[in-house]
Structure 1
Amino acid sequence: MVGEARGRAVKLQVHCAHQFESGFDVAVNFDSKHRITALFGPSGAGKTSLLMMIAGFVAPDKGYIAFDDRVLLDTGAGIALAPESRHLGVVFQDQRLFPHLSVEDNLRFAQRPSPLNRKESPFKRIAEVLELNGLLQRRPESLSGGERQRVALGRALMSAPDLMLLDEPVTAVDEPRRETILSYVERVVHEWDVPMLYVSHHRSEVQRVADWILAFDKGRLTEQGPPDKVLGADAVVAAGEPVNLVRLTKVSPSQDGGWLGTVNAGNSITQLRLPAELKNPGKSVFVEFAASDVMLASGNTEGLSARNRLPAIVTDLVPRTGRVFVALEMGEQRLWAEVTTHAIEDLGLVIGSNVTCLIKSAALRVVD
């Protein structure tokens, strides 16, 4: 998933050190302001152990954990909030649903008094978005792995969490159903504007869902950055054509009866003309568009028909047969364009080139 840190500003601070009885130790320091941060690394690297410290199920020897300036743990000050007081939604690899309860009762068991900033019932909306209405009276034992994982996602949401912690959420799901579960994870982010810390050892998963990757090995943070930096631009392209996701900070009507979306382009603010069928004007939304829908131009762009123009800098070039995927940076946002090898030559593109991304309104898909 390519784009900026989606939704409201968030800040997760984690500074922990702990030695287990086995001799394995974890020592990690990071601050993340990104919407979906992935803890990525091989099995046994300590990813789940760190997640359990953040959740409050493991007490580190020394540490400080805060989310949006709310301190969850500070061993130096004697602060250690109980798991249920941290306002975190945890989705375990093995789901951990109550076997004696129906799907509906599993969901309602986790509900906190505060709704998810929605006027309608959180239960109703969660069941709708995660497509659980047909499963509500069934027991967990009668569900498939993918269905159980959707229930686990819903149960975590019912607690109105400030932050979601997902521990290898698709590992126990059959390969054909993994993409489906990942699509539900993306729906959760868009629908409830809730940030996530996502644990996985699969490159394709973190490339798809994460804004920021924390590479983890042997209890230590080894590298961090956007997916194309940590995994390599080649790995991102190898996972399939990249899809761009851009957040619009504001949507307003245009003089011709359409809609304009405001985009933070780093050093400037620009606007995108949106499809006329957009609903809920004024609401912060996201737009998706394929890399193949982006044309690149350099120099003077006057006279070009495309009205949607985003300034960017070339950060990498990934050649494929007869075409090139161009990695781009627009402020804190990452974009991709797919162009021909001739276009690269004609434009004289190299890493560091300043370009203008041209996108037709018809290519934009609004994700609200």
Structure 2
Amino acid sequence: MIRFSCRLARPRFVLDADFTCTDGCVALFGPSGSGKTTVAKLIAGLEHPDSGRIAVDDHVLVDTAAGIRKPVHQRRVGLVFQDGQLLPHLSVQQNLAYGRYFAPKEAQAIPFDAVVELLGIGHLLAARPATLSGGERQRVAIGRALLAAPRLLVMDEPLASLDAARKLEILPFIERLRDELSLPIVYVSHALEEVARLATIVVRMANGKVAAQGPPSEVFASPLPDNAMDRFEAVSFLSGTALRELPEYATTILDHPAGEITLPGRFGPKGKTVRIAIRATNVTLATEKPHGLSVRTALKGRVHAIAGGDGPLTLVTVELEGGDHVSASLTRLAVADLGLERGREVYALVKAVSIDERSIATLGGE
């Protein structure tokens, strides 16, 4: 469990944040300047608060009232940054061994071979960092952090410098850290799809404060008030089971009580549970089931709520058959023209190409 309550004042920025999270992947999410990296640095000991307390399980890292401030090397916080920061003159194996050097003798360290296998870097051990791809460097950086036997892993925008293909390559490895090692992770990012896929708890930061905290499905269900750009951050989460794969089209069909969901990519086998994140700006509503459209996904439901306000946009929440909810960002003009009101039967349309593969998580099943 992570307990964080700190205040830090700077000339043009004040952090005053308080949150408590259980184990899993805790995502610090928010725009640049919101304070998420500052929180990560405070946990790692790279910054020091004016006042506050930080604890990981029963280990107190900082308690200004009690005069406790453990130095970086005693916190056992593994750090992974954007660029990996590998030592260029050492091989991959030597970089990994460098991480082991910092593991306390009494710690139950993860075996070297287990880390290499977990991250799929056995074929890279003799290579130098300059010869690695961006995704390979990040996997080595994660391995080095794990071999230091951390109590907590802090990942500060670890995929920010990678292209889309490399991000898709490394995300499954971070999922394995979360699921197979049961190692608490603090994941700093402003990439909503990454957070949607990895996080068990989201701490949403804004202007140095915690604006929202909870499971991704709750935190991203509606935008923050008084900020028109936040409509791009309103996200719904739906889970379905793999019904069939269409390998000739590299497509998967999910079964959902409200209708079939078409996904780009192969996420079988049949019966596997798959969770997807859908941005409200990518949902269209229709009052009749459409025909003759390229859109494959049409989910049946009823209007549950329509956000108020006198601006040009509104957020319509639809309760789908089966009980899930999906949000659609619409103009108020469209709401009026369609005669949308609570209880009206509608179909939520989602283009498969609008679903980012980074946000698709496989959760189990057959």
Which category of TM-score, normalised to the shorter sequence, fits these structures? Answer: 0.5 to 0.7
5+ residue gaps, structure 2, are 223-230, 242-251, 259-270, 272-282, 286-296, 303-318, 324-342, 344-362
Q: Cα offset for 1:69?
A: 2.0
When residues 198 and 40 of structure 1 are mapped into structure 2, their CA distance, relative to the original with a 3 A threshold, is same
Q: How far apart are the structure 1 equivalents of 2:203 and 2:322?
A: 34
Q: 1:19 aligns with which of 2, 9, 29?
A: 9
Q: 1:231 aligns with which of 189, 203, 220?
A: 220
Residue 118 of structure 2 is aligned to residue 106 of structure 1: no
Q: How far apart are the structure 2 equivalents of 1:92 and 1:242?
A: 32
Residue 117 of structure 2 is aligned to residue 128 of structure 1: yes
Secondary structure of the structure 1 residue equivalent to 2:40: helix
Q: Cα offset for 1:23?
A: 2.5
TM-score by length of 2: 0.63
After TM superposition, the structure 1 = structure 2 runs for residues 212-231 of structure 1, keeping only pairs within 5 Å, are: 212-231=201-220
Q: 2:130 aligns with which of 141, 158, 162?
A: 141
Q: How far apart are the structure 2 equivalents of 1:66 and 1:158?
A: 22
Q: 1:178 aligns with which of 155, 167, 178?
A: 167
After TM superposition, the structure 1 = structure 2 runs for residues 257-336 of structure 1, keeping only pairs within 5 Å, are: 292=254, 321-324=297-300
Q: How far apart are the structure 2 equivalents of 1:241 and 1:343?
A: 11
Residue 196 of structure 2 is aligned to residue 207 of structure 1: yes
5+ residue gaps, structure 1, are 1-10, 245-289, 297-307, 309-317, 327-339, 345-349, 351-362
When residues 14 and 69 of structure 1 are mapped into structure 2, their CA distance, relative to the original with a 3 A threshold, is same
Structure 1, residues 81-138: CA drift from partner, whole Å, max 9, x if none? 11111111111112111111111111111112559857xx611111111111111111
Verify the 8 A CA contact 1:204 1:239 in the aligned structure 2: no
Q: How far apart are the structure 1 equivalents of 2:34 and 2:301?
A: 32
Q: How far apart are the structure 2 equivalents of 1:45 and 1:342?
A: 37
When residues 125 and 41 of structure 1 are mapped into structure 2, their CA distance, relative to the original with a 3 A threshold, is same
Instruction: Give the letter for the 2:299 counterpart.
Output: R
Verify the 8 A CA contact 2:80 2:156 in the aligned structure 1: yes
Q: How far apart are the structure 1 equivalents of 2:13 and 2:114?
A: 42
Residue 42 of structure 2 is aligned to residue 66 of structure 1: no
Verify the 8 A CA contact 1:16 1:60 in the aligned structure 2: yes
Q: How far apart are the structure 2 equivalents of 1:91 and 1:65?
A: 20
After TM superposition, the structure 1 = structure 2 runs for residues 150-161 of structure 1, keeping only pairs within 5 Å, are: 150-161=139-150
Secondary structure of the structure 1 residue equivalent to 2:87: coil
Secondary structure of the structure 1 residue equivalent to 2:211: strand
Count of paired positions: 259
Verify the 8 A CA contact 2:29 2:195 in the aligned structure 1: yes
Residue 78 of structure 2 is aligned to residue 89 of structure 1: yes
TM-score by length of 1: 0.63
Verify the 8 A CA contact 1:322 1:341 in the aligned structure 2: no
Q: How far apart are the structure 2 equivalents of 1:225 and 1:39?
A: 11
Verify the 8 A CA contact 1:97 1:152 in the aligned structure 2: yes
When residues 206 and 168 of structure 1 are mapped into structure 2, their CA distance, relative to the original with a 3 A threshold, is same
Name the structure 1 match of 2:308.
Answer: none
Q: What RMSD, in angstroms, separates the aligned Cα atoms of the two structures?
A: 3.4
**Mean Cα deviation higher: 229-238 or 175-184:** 229-238
Q: Cα offset for 1:209?
A: 0.5
